[in-house]
Amino acid sequence: MEIICLIGKSGTGKSYRAMQVASLYNIDCIIDDGLLIYKGRVVAGVSAKKEKTKMAAVKRAIFYEDEHRRQVKEKLNELNIDRILILATSLNMVEHITEALNLPNKYEVINIEDISTKEEIETARRQRLKEGKHVIPVPVFEIKRSFSGYFIDSIKNIIVRDNKKQNVEKTIVRPTFSYLGKFTVSETVIKNIISYIVERETDALKVDTIKLDNREEGIEVAIYVTVKGLCTLNKLAETVIKKIKEEFEHITGINIINIRFIYKDLKLR
């Protein structure tokens, strides 16, 4: 197995450049901050960016915990890949990762300074220090369930692979160990936002009660409504649910696992 390492200090833009390097070396598999990423999908691991302290994040990134290490090793064996890109802050970190995952200890090293300008590195550092932004080289939909309740954004770039242009999306998060990380939205505010969206979208539904089931990956929502007049309920509910998910997740960063409408009453006009 061939190992390529992208080395750079924390906040210098390694994760931002990961897909570019992977494309250049025709690599499908990336190890970054505790995650095993294969063809743009998270296939194993837990992100160090979810940890509450920097020390816990470091341990997660070098696969210090037995179960985390076992899960990623099993997936690597299953994939049977011949080339991996490892993102790390130092050669010492690379050695910890390769030892933990039983990977070869011979590797090619690329320094972030070799592929990014001083200005680009300074911009990345400024975004990390002043805004607490961290990049994960996967699309938002791959990671948002794991980061429900965090500030999440996305960036898109074009890379060339096999002489074809590809749009690549990366996710930006603010972890709990940055000064802007996970935040809390009260249940009252959540219910008010959902109720407002429902009654703004249609006057055929009156919200009576909203019940929430909080889970680590997000919330499940049950909306009890009174139906006012005759309408095609299934189609209406589908439209309103789509609107709630789009707007609520954009406003709060909280992932909605599912939404159910429960019809309590029917009032004919």
Are 47 and 136 in contact, with CB atoms under 8 Å apart? Answer: yes
d(CA 121, CA 9): 10
Residue 52 corresponds to which tokens in the numbers above?
């509450």
| Amino acid (1-letter code) at residue 153 | D
d(CA 248, CA 183): 15
pLDDT of residue 164: 61
pLDDT of residue 228: 83
d(CA 85, CA 5): 6
pLDDT of residue 178: 41
Residue ranges of domains in the chain, CATH in brackets:
2-173 (3.40.50), 187-267 (3.30.70.1350)
Q: What is the pLDDT along the chain (269 residues), one digit of tens a residue?
A: 899 999 998 878 887 788 888 888 889 999 998 999 898 888 899 888 777 788 888 999 999 999 999 999 999 999 989 999 999 999 999 999 999 999 998 999 999 898 888 888 887 777 655 555 556 565 544 455 555 445 445 555 444 455 565 555 555 555 543 433 444 556 788 888 899 999 999 988 899 999 988 776 778 899 999 988 667 788 899 999 999 988 887 776 677 889 999 988 777 65
Q: Look at the alpha carbons of 169, 174, 177, 179 in this order and tell me if their dihedral is positive or negative.
A: positive
Instruction: Name the residue with tokens 């139906």.
Output: 227
Question: Residue 159: beta bridge partners?
Answer: 166
pLDDT of residue 155: 52
pTM of the model: 0.57
pLDDT of residue 133: 59
d(CA 214, CA 105): 44
pLDDT of residue 183: 44
